[in-house]
Structure formats: structure tokens, C-alpha cells
Amino acid sequence: MTDQASTEVTRYQVLVVRQGLRACKRGFRLNTAYTPKNLRAMTEKITGHRNFRARDYDGMIAALDQWLAAQEGDSSGGCAHSAAADGVQGG
């Protein structure tokens, strides 16, 4: 897998994890994969931050948003997807 393809896969993962965090924040339980613990672990893996408290949904969502913004600033082509283009308004 090329570096650009790997980055696109990670971007997709970020969008999915972020939506899962938003659902958990609102009290939804989507399935066994979208537990707060699993979402926290994935957020820590992607962002590299290890200082999230349990159920710190806003902090994790903000870290994923920062990661997306940094990736979009670094991109020199490829996917033109913006952080707001996933179709969900506000948190």
C-alpha cells in the first residue's frame, strides 16, 4: 500500500471513529465494536495522545479533528475531503 493510500485509509478510520464517539456521547450503543474503550484506544493509536480520561468524548473528538486538519494541511493532492464534509453538523 502506498503512503497516500495508507493516509486515506487512516482518514476514513478517523471519520468513522469520530462518528462513533459522537454516537456514544449521545448515549447510543451501536454495536460491540463501538464501545467507549475501543474508540478511545483507536483515537490514541491514530493521534498519538495518551492523556484521554474515560468518557472524554469531546477531547477525543477534538484530537481527531486536529489530526484531520493537520493532514489536510500536509496534503499535496489526493483526496479533497474536508473534516466537515462527512455530513454531520456540530457536536
What DSSP assignment string belongs to the chain?
--HHHHHHHHHHHHHHHHHHHHHHHTT----TTS-HHHHHHHHHHHH----PPTT-HHHHHHHHHHHHHHHHHH--SS----GGGGS----
pLDDT by residue, tens only, the chain of 91 residues: 677 788 889 999 999 999 999 999 999 888 888 888 999 999 999 999 888 888 899 999 999 999 999 988 876 554 444 444 444 444 4
pTM above 0.75? no
The count of other CB atoms within 10 Å of the CB of residue 62 is 14
